[in-house]
Structure 1
């Protein structure tokens, strides 16, 4: 019998460092976070995700693309490709795409641009969108220093902030059919872009 998973977490080192079994003990989790991964790298290993036949896929990817000076367009196009590929291969799975997390303030405009496109695109592939910007970003658009020591990786406080949003999003996701409306968490800050 092939190995299956309930909830698969796909991403880079931020996902890889998550204690998903501990945080979601009922969900038969699998951690497919790989340190240093870019959107291109995730596309290259989507077969691994599909092979697990998960009920739910939680995606967080894109911040390492910024370090490689990839454009917002490149990141958005690749994440859209990931979501389309997963939706075709796993038509019954629940998909949750998370906003790219803030990092140094210099990246804020690019990240906001990426996230706005992901928010708009998610519902076209029956994916839910979870906006993490409000709980992680400081007023200047940089990641809150309480949440990260290096403006990229999360501290324990950063994971707590992420989980405070992710738990509710997954509960909502598991209680609704995949064709329902996306979780629209980006409220005021999406309308008042600076």
Structure 2
């Protein structure tokens, strides 16, 4: 059984700007998102999360490492360290690791490489992996401009899209039946209106 009913969201400004308590109003939520954070920063403050003993941990980190020109290996190694530490210190907590989100097309290949490694590694620490790439990326690997004005931070439409994937992933992680809700379809896929 998880340590508590708290759901901890860990990450950078994408997480920090999320209105998690509003969107998950039936849960107790802790937002550990810090603008500008890299994977190194999350490692250095991971003890705060562990001390809170959350029942569920939702991790999204890595995009700021690219701005610092960190290699895919550096990002992957650090995220693996985060996941191993969480599993070791929170053995009964449920962990959801999300793919690094797309940003500009110049970063697409390194983000894909990072995400391939995370997808392969997640099961080894009993973490679920959520791939946000298919929903958020254009064919060239750039973050869909419908979801962002700066190819990095999400707008309200971007958060709606993210939530459309995150909610069912959390239900699956917790072994809950899918809830009834409208299915989100990005513009262009919604069919005739």
Flag whether TM exceeds 0.5 (same fold): yes
Partner residue in 2 for 1:54: 54
Partner residue in 2 for 1:29: 29
The runs of 4+ residues in structure 1 deviating greater than 4 Å are none
Q: Is the 8 A contact 1:5 1:53 kept in 2?
A: no
Give the distance between the partners of 1:11 and 1:99, measured in 2 at CA.
Answer: 12
Q: Indicate the RMSD between aligned Cα atoms, in angstroms.
A: 0.9
Q: Is the 8 A contact 1:12 1:34 kept in 2?
A: yes
Partner residue in 2 for 1:161: 161
Partner residue in 2 for 1:170: 170
Consecutive unaligned residues of structure 1, counting only runs of 5 or more, are 177-194
Give the distance between the partners of 2:24 and 2:160, measured in 1 at CA.
Answer: 13
SS of equivalent residue, structure 1 residue 175: coil
Deviation at 1:5, TM superposition (A): 5.6
Deviation at 1:93, TM superposition (A): 0.2
* CA deviation string 1:73-103 (max 9, x = no partner): 0000000000000000000000000000000
Partner residue in 1 for 2:106: 106
Partner residue in 1 for 2:74: 74
Give the distance between the partners of 1:84 and 1:141, measured in 2 at CA.
Answer: 29
Q: Is the 8 A contact 1:5 1:30 kept in 2?
A: no
Give the distance between the partners of 1:9 and 1:61, measured in 2 at CA.
Answer: 10
Q: Is the 8 A contact 1:11 1:34 kept in 2?
A: yes
Consecutive unaligned residues of structure 2, counting only runs of 5 or more, are 177-193
Equivalent residues, number:
173
Q: Is the 8 A contact 1:16 1:33 kept in 2?
A: yes
Partner residue in 2 for 1:120: 120
* CA deviation string 1:14-38 (max 9, x = no partner): 0000000000012200100000000
Equivalent residues in 2 for 1:124-163 (5 A)?
124-163=124-163
Q: Quick check: 1:20 aligned with 2:29?
A: no
Give the distance between the partners of 1:174 and 1:123, measured in 2 at CA.
Answer: 15
SS of equivalent residue, structure 2 residue 145: coil
Q: Quick check: 1:11 aligned with 2:6?
A: no
Q: Quick check: 1:65 aligned with 2:85?
A: no
SS of equivalent residue, structure 1 residue 18: coil
